[in-house]
A and B are shown apart, each in its own frame.
Chain A
Amino acid sequence: MAADDEMQVIIGLEVHLQLNKLRTKLWCSCTSDYHGKDPNTVLCPVCLALPGTLPVLNKRAIDFAILLGLALKGDIQKETFFYRKNYYYPDMCKNFQISQYDKAGGVPICVGGELAFRVGKEARTVHFLRVHMEEDPGRLAYDGSITSSPVAYIDYNRHGMALLEAVTAPELRSPEEARAFLKKLRAIVEHLGIADLGLEGSMRCDANISYKGHSRVEVKNISSMKEVEKALTFEMMRQKQKIKGGGEIVQETRHWDEVRRVTISLRTKETEKDYRYFPEPDLVPVAIDKKMIDAARKAMPELPDARIQRFVKQYQIPEYDAGVLCDSKAMADFYEASVKLYNDPKDVSNWLMGDVSRRLNEDLLEIEETKITPDALAQMLQLIKEGTITGKIAKGLVKDMLAGAKPADLVKKHDVKRIDDKNVLDKIAREVIAENPKVVEEIKAGKNPRTFEFLVGQVMKKTRGQADPELTRETLKNLL
């Protein structure tokens, strides 16, 4: 059997992007704002597909698709068709899904395309096979895990929402890459303004995973970017173990069980579904002319790559920093709003990439999911600049600020202010020197310059970080 490091995994993703920035669903005039509504209340005869109803294409959905296609450098097709994908499942009111197809005469709205992104410092490019449009089915919910739930609940509110499915070539090489790729894709989609991917279920994935020389497994039901890494990691481990144990990978479709954090087999190749695609007779072909494409080009907003370059130029920050900030539209927007209020771009960027991001990562949150405002951040930086608080004090405020607290209120509430009273500092410095005779000796002998910083740290500790660091150093030096 091949050794671990010789085993090359190949991953392809089918990313479903829900166009929830459309005002209405794909075929009817029901609002697309169904999130948080009571189950089965955002419905009409058309999206419930009652007998006799017909779909009517939301024309703006095509405009949105053209925007994404152009942003991904794909070929927008002159004429595109809808096809029926036939299969029985309780989340679909018609027991077929109106989708697009790239075989049997079908033409998806966009063919090809690519996306450049970074994994850490490495630059990568992944290609797309196509971007096609389809309708979202309803949502099934279970009591706990799918395998043990005695019932399935159906909420059709989501039924008939517009989806774009971006299908990549099998070019991703690790779960980390997949996540980085998705992050960039998400940033692009959000900059285009075609979807708010922070909403539950608005970015879902199916993943094709295989090890070189072995069969391919499709994992369905990955419901968010956060789940992708987990699902891929599990499935890779499962396959690797099987291969190492001399077993064979079965070509099959598996289901990612978020609750149990495992993939479970849905069906194997023998029972693979035959979707019996054929052209949707209730819809007419969609012609996309130069005018529509020109209009999309004109409406094209600034995309992450261009924004990164602008940040470098306008704010004089390193490209890496600009890249990290522009990974998320909300973060980039937050940055620019903050700089407007506190004109030190480097400082703002350091804080956002540093302490703010660290906190966000710890809590697995995006900045738009918290209550921190550019105003609060600017206020905090201003307090540091004025000398009211130290950087160290500020670090301690970030957590509360994410919960919506204003830095000025926090300073008052916790009585955390910079100590710059020389007499006070002098007293504490003397205490520290007296308590650490050995260290003082070392410093005097000039053995290790770092030991001096240890004393600074001790002063900080005694003052709960409120001592002014420069004054503390000065005082200690004088005393020594």
Chain B
Amino acid sequence: MCMAKLHETTATELVQKLSTGETTPVEVMAAYLERIGKLEPKIHALTFVNKDAAMKEAEKAAKELKGAKGKKKPLMGMPIIIKECISTSGIQTTCCSKILQGYIPPYDATVVTRLKQAGAIIIAKSNMDEFAMGSSTERSCYGPTMNPWDVKRVPGGSSGGSGAAIAAREAPLALGSDTGGSIRCPAAYCGVSGIKATYGRVSRYGLVAYANSLEQIGPITLTARDSALLLGIIAGKDPADSTSVDMPVDKYSEGIASLKGVKVGIPKEFFGEGLKADVKAAVQKAIDKLKELGATTQEVSLPSIKYALPTYYLIAMCEASSNLARFDGLRYGMRVDVPKGNYDAMFSKTRQEGFGPEVRRRIILGTYALSAGYYDMFYVKALKARTIIQDDFKKALAKVDVLAGPTMPTTAFEIGTKVDDPLTMYLEDILTVPINLAGVPSLSVPVGSDKAGMPIGMQIMGNFFKEQQVLGVGMALEDVLQFYKKIPPLAGV
């Protein structure tokens, strides 16, 4: 195989080429490492490149592929990028925070264990907003990631490193995590696919918690088909995660036979104020395509999602304020010693210097909201609102098979334009957070570009554990739109 064409290959195709021997794990790994070397100075998507170890693993994989056993591994020799907040044994897992500098985990997240068992090789760790708190990947202690479609713009966030790396073809597969849109936002902004599965579908063991009750690890890949391939490996009950659900994992890659008779609901609230005209037009066009392919559409309503943003931020900040308490400098990571001070002084100083301003803001707000006298007013109320939002989704999805709407209200914005204005930044999440509150699966697929050439994503949302249907719709759509064949100019080398 001509390695110059690597960037035109999807993960699904590459798996095929590896198993037939058309190419080898060593060839693939070397080529992607070379691309990383060339592209990283431009986009800074990665925080750590596992260069030597990955090459060694690739050599092992090459040997294994010669035997019958190796051929059975579904991702044999496939390089994969792992987000910085997913625990990788022996490889830094910092959540892109100063406070975790120097921390090397002694254990693998369950998804990483499953990937390794499937034959995948960690090629790099990817950049993110500190502790996944952000929608632009500007708030990383390693500095921002640039969007490969326009390096002046953000890649979205918080899994912006994974999104940008996939768009730039630095690897065929990547993992992100999605608490309030952190997979779908960068997928949309970078013109790639990404799915947040049903809450409980993918084990969270090893995902450094931001807001436990909302988040899932999930794939970020070039195509929906690639996402289906990757989700099939990482999904499934994990005894180490009590919130993971014991349901059979469907054959996601098979998708659905046809869009004929598939009922697509169009939630009118997704097309309200603040939606950029280009985004609206591209999503509308994609919906028309679904109709052409045999789907029927109808308008549905999710009236309560107007409460989603405050509900999401309350729950996320409350949980975060507690989750992040363990970072105190005592056992691992950064520590600021306070001579003659007690542990309280050391904790305070370490946390003050170790956390960035957005993380501190969310910890303080969450702490406040959980405090005596405010708990009922904020947290309890947010939980109630969450149930109402979830009911909206249940009602809508009782009438239709999937919902479709824009992933983000706009396209990727310029670096530095929103980072100092938290409220404007929070508004970015208005269309993604309702899905996390409801717990249902949602796939973002690229459906076009705006006038400036920045990609536009569409969300396909489904009922609980209906990932196969959601992915099936996405695959049918990408087969006709073929956005994945468009390559950002800087990555077309």
Contact = CB atoms under 8 A, between A and B. Distances in A.
Dominant SS at the A interface?
loop
Contacts of B242: 54-57, 282-284
Given A84-B322, A95-B326, A96-B322, A276 B106 contact: no
A52 interface: yes
Contact of B331 (A48, A283, A284): A48
A357 interface: no
Contacts, number: 102
Nearest to A283: B242
Interface in A260-298: 274, 276-278, 281-284
Contacts of A284: 242-243
A276 B95 contact: no
Interface of B: 85-87, 93, 95, 100, 103, 105-107, 109, 204-209, 211-213, 239-243, 318-319, 321-322, 325-328, 330-332, 343-344, 347, 367, 370-372, 375-376, 379-380
A45 B367 CA distance: 26
A94 interface: yes
If over half of B's interface residues share one DSSP class (helix, strand or loop), that class is named, otherwise mixed; here it is loop
Nearest to B348: A88
B243 A282 contact: yes
A101 B376 CA distance: 15
Contacts of A54: 204-205, 240-243
B325 A88 contact: yes
A52 B87 contact: yes
8 contacts: A45-B105, A45-B106, A50-B105, A50-B332, A56-B241, A152-B343, A281-B243, A282-B243
A154 B328 CA distance: 15
- The 9 A-B residue pairs with the shortest CB-CB distance, nearest first, are A95-B325, A281-B212, A276-B370, A281-B213, A52-B87, A51-B208, A52-B206, A52-B208, A45-B107
Contact of A282 (B103, B105, B212): B212
A391 interface: no
A102 B34 CA distance: 59
B364 to A, nearest CB: 13
A350 to B, nearest CB: 55
Interface centre among A45, A274, A276, A284 (most CB of B within 10 A): A276
A306 interface: no
Contact of A88 (B85, B100, B213, B344): B344
B330 A278 contact: no
Contacts of B212: 281-282
A229 B377 CA distance: 43
A104 B383 CA distance: 12
Contacts of A276: 321-322, 367, 370-372, 375
Interface in A98-135: 104-105
A86 interface: yes
Given A281-B213, A282-B242, A284-B243, A104 B375 contact: yes
Contacts of B319: 281
Contacts of A53: 107, 205-206
A352 B93 CA distance: 61
A416 to B, nearest CB: 60
A90 interface: yes
A243 interface: no
A44 to B, nearest CB: 8
B343 A278 contact: no
Nearest to B105: A50
Contacts of A278: 318, 322, 370, 375, 379
A360 interface: no
Contacts of A55: 242
Contacts of B326: 49, 51, 93-95
Contacts of A274: 371-372
Given A56-B240, A274-B371, A281-B213, A51 B95 contact: yes
Nearest to B87: A52
Nearest to A272: B372
Interface in A49-88: 49-57, 84, 86, 88
Q: Which of A54, A57, A104 has the most chain B CB within a 10 Å cutoff?
A: A54
Nearest to B88: A52
B187 to A, nearest CB: 23
B379 A50 contact: no
A406 to B, nearest CB: 51
A45 B113 CA distance: 15
A86 B205 contact: no
A151 B486 CA distance: 62
A98 to B, nearest CB: 11
Given A51-B208, A52-B93, 4 more contacts: A52-B208, A57-B242, A90-B328, A94-B326
Given A90-B343, A278-B318, A281-B213, A52 B243 contact: no
A274 B368 CA distance: 11
B100 A96 contact: no
